[in-house]
Amino acid sequence: MKKAIFPGSFDPITSGHHDIITRGVKLFDELIIAIGVNSNKKYMFSLEERKKFIEDSFKHEPKIKVLTYKGLTVDFCQQNNVEFILRGLRNPADFEFEKAIAHTNRDLAPIETVFLLTAASTSYISSSIVREVIINNGDYTKLVPQSVRINKK
């Protein structure tokens, strides 16, 4: 059984993440959306909110599970018998950043990172841009899946 994780902060999930998940799930038997918890980081949305946004978006997809984790992504993979890490690439900066992480992860554990290029239509979207639009009362709804709009307080 091919199991992958798609790790991230998802603060909040965006249409870009949604695209990668929808395309990535076709490649694996199970895809765990793994929300990393970093106690030094300040988030706009609570862990429960971020989890609910994702769960509601994919409630009709039985191959997708949403979990949270602390610590190294490779440790989480090994604890859950996961062999693949799925990541999205938007631009050369993402590539350079992701390359270093993927090489480090390969040194730490026999886990392959699989990259999908973003859809052109969502390649400019990031969670930080979405947060900026929300803080300034702009229309963020085109940048996120419907579940964020429905569940956001």
Q: Is 127 annotated in the active site?
A: yes
**CB nearer to ligand ADP: pick between 51 and 87:** 87
55 binds ligand ADP (CB under 6 A): no
Dihedral angle at the C-alpha atoms of 41, 46, 50, 56, nearest 10 degrees?
A: 170
The residue range among 5-13, 26-34, 54-62, 133-141 that interacts with ligand ADP, by the rule CB under 6 A, is 5-13
Angle at 34 between CA 12 and CA 43, to 5 degrees: 35
Give the strands of the sheet with 84-89, arranged side by side: 64-69, 30-36, 3-8, 84-89, 112-117
Catalytic sites, residue numbers? 17, 41, 90, 127
By CB under 6 A, name the binding residues for ligand ADP. Answer: 8-10, 14, 16-17, 19-20, 87-88, 90, 94, 118, 122-123, 125-127
